[in-house]
Structure 1
Amino acid sequence: MNIFDGPEALKAAIGQEIGIGEWITVDQATIDRFAEATGDHQWIHVDPERAARESPYGATVAHGYLTLSLVPRFIAGVRRLDGLRLSLNYGLDRVRFPAPVVVGSRLRGRVQVAAALDVPPRGLRTTYGVTVEIEGGDKPACLADAVVLHHW
């Protein structure tokens, strides 16, 4: 866990990997809850029997947006911002899903500080480059540049 005591400390980490998160398992219950929350009930996500028969992956796969929704968790898992008043999601600059997340896969996030821009007073718009890795996979599940507005 990297600890940053203010905007200057976080800016000093630009271009550096600040951590690799712990593995989490994406199970069918998680996929089903995400489908319920978003209304995306496509069979490749929620019908294990059909997916076993018809999917090129031989099983259900997580929604890409489910994988993307884990990005803030991966960021929070590798760094602590001491004295922080609040953080707001600002957006995403780039997102790609190079490999599917087959049910039962384990994921973790590799996080770097890609950029940081001062936002007065005592704010910092920070871009985190996140690579979501699949345990044993050749390609990442997701590459995302997540932009977060931090206020100290």
Structure 2
Amino acid sequence: MSKLVINSFEDFEKYVGQPLGESEYLQVDQERINLFADATLDHQWIHTDVERAQKESPFKSTIVHGYLTLSLLPYLWNQIIEVNNLKMMINYGIDKMKFGQAVLSGQSLRLSTKLESLANLRGAVKAEIRFTMDIKETGKKALEGTAIFIYYFN
């Protein structure tokens, strides 16, 4: 899979309203879930207790933390796009984000993106990227929203 290469505001501008691409699928296994639980101190049993989840959860499995799903956005975004000639890039925010289907331990996620809008802010570029994370095994959406990045080109 080849990345979309952006070198300037003008390069970016050509893609307004267009799909930017999709990432590869990434499997989210129980080890990653447990590491996330340790990092965030969120050890709720629906994420970390495999035996209890198999018996008591309506999913019959542990599920991925919603915020773990969200935290994979930058990694998967980097598979889609390469933005060059930057001083820095800042995560500005996320609009209209919502979780859809629960992601079960061992399932795989893919990011799909579309450039909703682009604004030149006198030296900085505000990009609004519509994103969806879908689950390979079900074809359903795990997460969707609009990510807002500020790019500072050289």
Fold shared per TM-score above 0.5:
yes
Whether the 8 Å contact between 1:106 and 1:134 is mirrored in structure 2 is yes
Match of 2:80 in 1: 78
In structure 1, what is the equivalent of residue 19 of structure 2? 17
Pair 1:68 & 2:70 matched: yes
**Structure 2: how far apart are the matches of 1:128 and 1:33?**
28
User: Structure 2: 5+ residue runs without aligned partners?
Assistant: none
8 Å Cα contact 1:74/1:111 also seen in 2: no
Deviations 1:6-52 (A, max 9, x none): 11211221111111101111000110111111111110000000000
DSSP-derived class of the 1:142 partner: strand
* Native 8 Å contact 2:107 2:137 kept in 1: no
Q: 1:48 aligned to 2:29?
A: no
Separation in 2, partners of 1:37, 1:129: 28
Other structure's SS at 1:18 match: strand
Matches within 5 A, 1:88-107: 88-107=90-109
Distance 2:73 2:116 in 1: 15
Q: Distance in 2 between matches of 1:98 and 1:125?
A: 27
Shift of 1:60: 0.2
The gaps in structure 1 that reach 5 residues or longer are: none
- Cα deviation, residue 138, structure 1: 3.8
Q: What corresponds to 2:128 in structure 1?
A: 127
What is the rounded CA distance, in whole Å, between the counterparts of 2:104 and 2:139 in structure 1? Answer: 14
| Contact 1:124–1:150 (8 Å) recurs in 2 | yes
8 Å Cα contact 1:3-1:80 kept in structure 2 = yes
What SS does the aligned partner of 1:72 have? helix
Instruction: Give secondary structure in 2 for the equivalent of 1:115.
Output: strand
Q: Determine if contact 1:7/1:124 at 8 Å carries over to the other structure.
A: yes
* Cα distance in 1 for residues equivalent to 2:141 and 2:72: 14
Could you say what secondary structure the match of 1:85 adopts?
strand
Residues 55-105 of structure 1: CA deviation (Å, up to 9, x unaligned): 111100001011011112222210111212210110111211110010000
Across the two proteins, how many residue pairs are aligned to each other? Answer: 151
Please give the secondary structure, in 2, of the residue aligned with 1:129. Answer: strand
Alignment TM-score, normalising by the size of structure 2: 0.94
The CA RMSD measured in Å over matched residues stands at 1.0
1:102-134 Cα offsets, whole Å, 9 max, x none, are 00001110111111111212x101111111010
Normalised TM-score (structure 1) = 0.95
Once the two structures are aligned, what percentage of the paired residues are identical? 34
Given residue 99 of structure 1, which amino acid in structure 2 is its aligned partner? Answer: Q
Instruction: Name 1:142's counterpart in structure 2.
Output: 143
